[in-house]
Amino acid sequence: MTEPDFREIGARLAAAFRLKTRPLAVYGSDVLPEGIPPMAGVNRCFAVTLYRMATGNAVSAIYVSADTSEGCCQGGLYHVGFIPVPDEIKYFVSTGRKDVRGGAAEYLKASPELVERCTLAAGPIHPPGKYLVVQACEALPDPGPSVRSICCFGTGEQIRNMAALIHFDRDDPFSPVLVPWGSSCSTFITFPARLAQNTPHDTAFMGPQDPTQNHSLPPDMMALGIPAEMAARMVKNLDASFITRRPQVAFPRHAAQQDR
């Protein structure tokens, strides 16, 4: 079966939703992609790296593997399946412990035990191949790889509109789009690419709700992690939906713009 053209899918979504950012494709490879640098050469953090890739042209792709883990965030490596969950995370993310990072804590969860239960609920995380690659859709090779998900950054209005299109052909009013708890890289990569065993099927993930990345993302910037099959279906639904038939509703001229 022919793989969907995610260069076209990314371009169609970017145009339809007026994104000023580049949609990013997530895929696995058992062969080192030629000419693609390791993530640590850009930034240790997935969230920062992906945002820079989406908003600039200096880097079009990065990869991560078990062999290139030096200089990468340990939490990020866990969230893409290359290392087991570090024991210190449950303390650092919650209330801290004196012998872990000098007692530093993020207070994102009420207790270490609650963090453990969330980790178990997500299930084991497995990488998609020897190498995990994130690449701008426009830069994907031909023939294209087997893309698992895409990540789109946009304003609140753009991401709201994308979520509305996901609901266009669904009869479930609740679960097609979720805001998951966890790291930013979970929203961008882990869950939409279904690296975590218990990830719900056919679901997009909006966020990130991780406040520790508020320093690196503009206040009005959001992201949507979309499974590959869902992204392809969104493009098929464009012409029948509000985004094409009622663009003045999707993108109204707001009062502040009208006064200019």
pLDDT, tens only, 78-119 = 999 999 999 999 999 999 999 988 899 999 999 999 999 999
Contacts of 250 (CB under 8 A, 6+ apart): 161, 164, 242, 243
Residues 43-78 have pLDDT tens digits of 999 999 999 999 999 999 999 999 887 889 999 999
If one compares 253 and 153, the residue with the highest pLDDT of the two is 153
Beta bridge partners of 133: 27, 63
Region 209-219: mean pLDDT is: 94
Q: What is the pTM of this model?
A: 0.94
Distance of alpha carbon 238 from alpha carbon 13, whole angstroms: 9
Give 253's pLDDT tier (boundaries 50, 70, 90).
Answer: confident
Contacts of 181 (CB under 8 A, 6+ apart): 118, 209
Other Cβ atoms closer than 10 A to 31: 8
Proportion of the chain above pLDDT 90, given as a percent: 89
Residue 28 main-chain phi, psi, to 5 deg:
-110, 155
Query: What's the sign of the alpha-carbon dihedral 63, 67, 72, 77?
Result: positive
Q: Where are the domains of the chain?
A: 6-81+125-258, 82-124
Dig out the tokens for 166 from the structure.
């996901």
Task: Evaluate if residue 237 carries a pLDDT over 80.
Answer: yes
Proportion of the chain above pLDDT 70, given as a percent: 97
Query: Which pLDDT value is given to residue 1?
Result: 52
Query: Which pLDDT value is given to residue 258?
Result: 47
Query: β-strand 204-207 against 177-178: which pairing, if any?
Result: parallel
Query: Which pLDDT value is given to residue 257?
Result: 53
Task: Evaluate if residue 260 carries a pLDDT over 80.
Answer: no
